[in-house]
């Protein structure tokens, strides 16, 4: 099965994947980089993951697929941090595709230079080099994990890479890249990364042939997909479920049951359109109660009402089978709750978000208002523990997004989850 975010990321994928990982034999990341962030709360311990699959906390075999761009220094730092928290991360529990492109210091530099020079055109990048690394991948000049075992023959690839980057750096008034310094950095990190390097397409295909349960984990959300998101305020990869196959080396039927993670309200980090964004006390309340700060960047998230139009669109383009509804408890105590059911644009009523950025920024939400609930939903583990109005809200969301709810999460705690439909049984 495949788990993806159904909004702009930060929907609570980490907890859901962690909860599902106890029933999986393997967890595989298939796109993105260390710009993604998952927070897992296990008892009194909180684990913050950026690059590693969420299954690593469970001891489930975790795989980083070829569709991921890998910062080897960020990987080392993350593993060292989790090891200090008591986790054991070894080549037996973690495999990295030997075809993963590397994020290099020059990618981080270029990311920051571009963003700083963009003025009003900033897109809110995390400045971690994700975009430039993907550009080098499709430009056929990337350094990959497998190249770390052949550093003595790297010069022809470096010629192509540096010819491109030195020209860009010159345009920003920056000096050329120090080739020998870069090679030395790669030599120093090579052995650490290579211990985890495998042809993971073999691992996942063999596991599938044996009937093992593979959990594919996406990063970011559908609305940040480079093709289907709010372009240009998107990430640099495809975040939809179909990427699970291309990003790990399996056939197109690999995705299986597609679980879309969706918050009971909407958040967004960084720039870009956000039709239901709230700038009032309720928006402030959602942010405070939901602890809406980015796992990776620490940036404050923008908050707003649930947008059924966007989630319906996400479910359609990503082939979502069922949704996991998270952070329901954040809505506790509100007298009224609003749901966006459509948009107004220049006298027209729309049932989808238009493609052009100017029109996306100009749409006005059409709201439906329902009664809230005063009882607490925090920690509920069954329908019987939910207030009637909370159940009514969930059912209305299902109707509007044309997709059923499979799971409901009522707190960051692993076990505070209501199972409505078992994704692994489909």
pLDDT at 412: 80
Residue 375 domain boundaries? 262-419
Q: Is residue 255 part of a domain?
A: no
Q: How many domains does the chain have?
A: 3
Asked if residue 332 lies in contact with residue 377, where contact means CB atoms within 8 angstroms, the answer is yes
Q: Is the dihedral of CA 125, 79, 201, 314 positive or negative?
A: negative
pLDDT at 357: 92
Q: How confident is the model at residue 422 (pLDDT cuts 50, 70, 90)?
A: confident
Question: Would the annotation count 185 as a binding residue?
Answer: no
**360 and 383 assigned to the same domain:** yes
Catalytic residue ranges? 10, 38, 137
Question: Would the annotation count 410 as a binding residue?
Answer: yes
Per-residue pLDDT tens digits for 78-134 = 999 999 999 999 999 999 999 999 999 999 999 889 888 776 666 667 788 999 999
Question: Would the annotation count 296 as a binding residue?
Answer: yes
Per-residue pLDDT tens digits for 224-243 = 999 999 999 999 999 999 99
Per-residue pLDDT tens digits for 234-284 = 999 999 999 999 999 998 888 899 999 999 999 998 889 999 999 999 999
**345 and 375 assigned to the same domain:** yes
pLDDT at 123: 63
Tell me which residue of 307, 219, 272 sits closest to 2, measured CA to CA.
219
pLDDT at 295: 57
User: How many angstroms separate the most distant Cα atoms in the chain?
Assistant: 67
Per-residue pLDDT tens digits for 282-319 = 999 999 998 887 655 667 889 999 999 999 999 999 99
Tokens, residue 57: 């906390």
Question: Would the annotation count 409 as a binding residue?
Answer: yes
Asked if residue 284 lies in contact with residue 346, where contact means CB atoms within 8 angstroms, the answer is no
Tokens, residue 95: 């495999």
pLDDT at 262: 96
**138 and 29 assigned to the same domain:** no
**60 and 185 assigned to the same domain:** no
Give the bridge partners for 264, in sequence order: none
Q: Is the dihedral of CA 285, 14, 383, 313 positive or negative?
A: positive
Q: Is the pLDDT of residue 144 over 90?
A: yes
- 3-state SS, residue 350: strand
**218 and 156 assigned to the same domain:** no
Tokens, residue 244: 């699970």
Asked if residue 423 lies in contact with residue 1, where contact means CB atoms within 8 angstroms, the answer is yes
Using CA atoms, how far residue 142 sits from 17, 134, 165, 291, in Å, is 30, 8, 12, 37
Question: Would the annotation count 328 as a binding residue?
Answer: yes
Tokens, residue 117: 């020079």
Q: Is the pLDDT of residue 213 over 80?
A: yes
> If you average pLDDT over residues 383-399, what whole number do you get?
96
pLDDT at 124: 62
Bridge-based pairing of strands 364-371 and 336-345 is: antiparallel
Asked if residue 71 lies in contact with residue 34, where contact means CB atoms within 8 angstroms, the answer is yes
In angstroms, rounded to a whole number, what is the distance separating the alpha carbons of residues 351 and 308?
10
pLDDT at 121: 63
Asked if residue 17 lies in contact with residue 3, where contact means CB atoms within 8 angstroms, the answer is yes
Distance from first CA to last CA of the chain, Å, rounded? 9
pLDDT at 131: 92
Question: Would the annotation count 35 as a binding residue?
Answer: yes
Using CA atoms, how far residue 185 sits from 72, 90, 97, 180, in Å, is 10, 23, 20, 9
Q: How confident is the model at residue 320 (pLDDT cuts 50, 70, 90)?
A: very high
- Running DSSP on this structure, what letter comes out for residue 175? P
pLDDT at 426: 63
Q: Is residue 367 part of a domain?
A: yes
**31 and 163 assigned to the same domain:** no
Q: Is the pLDDT of residue 43 over 80?
A: no
Last residue of a domain, one of 194, 212, 238: 194
Question: Would the annotation count 9 as a binding residue?
Answer: yes
**54 and 140 assigned to the same domain:** no
Q: Is residue 256 part of a domain?
A: no
Is 96 or 17 the better-scoring residue by pLDDT? 96
Exposure on the CB side of residue 157, measured as CA atoms within 13 A: 20
pLDDT at 136: 97
Q: How confident is the model at residue 148 (pLDDT cuts 50, 70, 90)?
A: very high
In angstroms, rounded to a whole number, what is the distance separating the alpha carbons of residues 291 and 425?
33
Asked if residue 389 lies in contact with residue 411, where contact means CB atoms within 8 angstroms, the answer is no
pLDDT at 120: 67
**176 and 319 assigned to the same domain:** no
289: CATH: 3.90.170.10
| Run of H or E including 409 | strand 405-409
**303 and 379 assigned to the same domain:** yes
Question: Would the annotation count 298 as a binding residue?
Answer: yes
pLDDT at 20: 86
Q: How confident is the model at residue 54 (pLDDT cuts 50, 70, 90)?
A: confident
Which residue, chain included where needed, has tokens 């860009």?
Answer: 168
**188 and 298 assigned to the same domain:** no
Tell me the pLDDT of the chain averaged across its residues.
Answer: 92
In angstroms, rounded to a whole number, what is the distance separating the alpha carbons of residues 238 and 105?
23
Q: Is residue 33 part of a domain?
A: yes
In angstroms, rounded to a whole number, what is the distance separating the alpha carbons of residues 236 and 126?
12
Question: Would the annotation count 36 as a binding residue?
Answer: yes
What pTM was computed for the model?
Answer: 0.91
Tokens, residue 371: 């009664």
Share of the chain above pLDDT 70, in %: 97
**305 and 359 assigned to the same domain:** yes
Which bin fits 370, alpha (ψ -120 to 50), beta or left (φ > 0)? beta
Is 306 or 347 the better-scoring residue by pLDDT? 306
């Amino acid at each position: 099965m495949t788990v993806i975010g159904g909004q702009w990321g930060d929907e609570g994928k980490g907890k859901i994947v962690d909860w599902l990982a106890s029933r999986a034999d393997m967890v595989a990341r298939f796109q993105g980089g260390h710009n993604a962030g998952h927070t897992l709360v296990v008892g009194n311990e909180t684990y913050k993951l950026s690059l590693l699959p969420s299954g690593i906390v469970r001891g489930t075999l975790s795989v980083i697929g070829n569709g991921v761009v890998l910062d080897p220094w960020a990987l080392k730092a993350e593993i060292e941090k989790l090891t200090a928290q008591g986790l054991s991360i070894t080549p037996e529990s973690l495999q990295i595709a030997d075809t993963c492109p590397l994020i290099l210091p020059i990618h981080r530099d270029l990311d920051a230079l571009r963003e700083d020079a963009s003025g009003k055109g900033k897109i809110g990048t995390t400045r971690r080099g994700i975009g430039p690394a993907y550009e080098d991948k499709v430009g056929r000049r990337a350094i990959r994990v497998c190249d770390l075992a052949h550093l003595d023959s790297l010069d022809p690839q470096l010629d192509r890479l540096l010819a491109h980057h030195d020209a860009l750096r010159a345009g920003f008034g920056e000096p050329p890249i120090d080739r020998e310094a870069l090679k030395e950095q790669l030599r120093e990190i090579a052995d650490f990364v290579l211990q985890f390097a495998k042809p993971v397409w073999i691992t996942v295909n063999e596991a599938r042939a044996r009937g093992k349960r593979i959990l594919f984990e996406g990063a970011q959300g559908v609305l940040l997909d480079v093709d289907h998101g709010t372009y240009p305020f998107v990430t640099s990869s495809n975040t939809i479920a179909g990427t699970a196959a291309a990003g790990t080396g399996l056939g197109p039927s690999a995705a299986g049951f597609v679980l879309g993670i969706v918050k009971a309200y909407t958040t967004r980090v960084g720039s870009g359109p956000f039709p239901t964004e709230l700038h009032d006390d309720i928006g402030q309340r959602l942010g405070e109660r939901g602890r809406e700060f980015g796992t990776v960047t620490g940036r404050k998230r923008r908050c707003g009402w649930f947008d059924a139009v966007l989630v319906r669109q996400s479910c359609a383009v990503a082939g979502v089978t069922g949704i996991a509804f998270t952070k329901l408890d954040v809505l506790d105590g509100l007298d009224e709750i609003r749901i966006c059911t459509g948009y107004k644009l220049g006298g027209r009523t729309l049932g989808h978000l238009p493609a052009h950025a100017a029109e996306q920024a100009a749409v006005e939400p059409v709201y439906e208002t329902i009664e809230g609930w005063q009882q607490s939903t925090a920690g509920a583990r069954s329908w019987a523990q939910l207030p009637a109005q909370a159940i009514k809200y969930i059912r209305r969301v299902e109707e509007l997004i044309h997709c059923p709810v499979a799971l409901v999460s009522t707190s960051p705690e692993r076990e505070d989850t209501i199972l409505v439909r078992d994704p692994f049984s489909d």
